[in-house]
Structures are given as C-alpha cells and as structure tokens.
Amino acid sequence: MDFLPALRKLVVTYQAFEKYASSHLKLLNITMTQFDIIATLGNQPPMSCKLLGEKTLITKGTMTGVLERLEEKGLMRMELNVEDVRSQLISLTKKGQQLFEEIFPEHVNYLQKAFGKLSKKELEDLAVSLEKLNKVF
C-alpha cells in the first residue's frame, strides 16, 4: 500500500489543475469538455467521433451531449463520412474555428502562468514519471 500517498497526491493535483483551468474557461463562457473538443478540432481536418474520443479526455457517454451543445451553438458540424457511411465526420464551423483561434492561445498563456513556475527539467521529469505511470495501467 506504499502507493496510496502518491495516488492521493495525483488525484489532489488533478483536481487543483481542473479547478484552475476551468475557472479561466468559465470566464471565456466555455466548459472544460467543450474546450477539449474545440482545441482538438482546431486547425485539423474533420475526424470521426471515434478518433475525437481517442484524442480527447472525454468519455463516449459525455461526448454526445457536448457535441450536440456545440452544434446548437453553431461551433461544430457533423457530416456523413462518404468513406464509411456508418460514421460521421466532425469539424469546426467558421464560427468555431474563430473561437478556437481566440481562446486557445489565451488559455495556453493562462496555463503557462502555472506551469512556468516549474523548470524545464522539472517538467521533463514530471512527463517521464507520468508516462511511466500511464504504462503501468
């Protein structure tokens, strides 16, 4: 059970990150999950829902509702995939791309304020440790 203190720190750290990041996104009138989708689709060709799910941190159950809300806001669209008619291709609309270009750099700069408090070596070590942990699972 030597892992429990590390597990607790990992969860508490993720919760702190989510609180920090979501507070900024709230000011931009967008949720974390909406941002995740917009950031993933920005400057990218249309992609299937399956691929979008793999590239984001969003579960399949949550994805459908978020996509519907983004579509209602006119930020993204779904089109029939002519190569595989069983799937849809998802992309940002012009309005969605404009929103991406506005909020993505602003949010990255906001996150930089926190991550900038760590040295390059600390960030590299953290990335290596997280990758090791990921491979364990």
pLDDT (tens digit per residue) in 56-97: 988 888 999 999 999 999 999 999 888 888 889 999 999 999
* 127 in any annotated domain: no
Q: Which of 38, 27, 30, 35 is nearest to 96 (CA)?
A: 38
pTM exceeds 0.75 = yes
DSSP character string of 91-111: EE-HHHHHHHHHHHHHHHHHH
CB neighbourhood size of 21 (10 A): 16
54 and 47 in contact (C-beta within 8 Å)?
A: no
pLDDT for residue 7: 94
CATH (domain of 84): 1.10.10.10
Instruction: State which residues form the domain around 95.
Output: 8-108
* 3 in any annotated domain: no
pLDDT for residue 4: 95
Tell me the Cα Rg of the chain: 17
Average pLDDT, the chain: 94
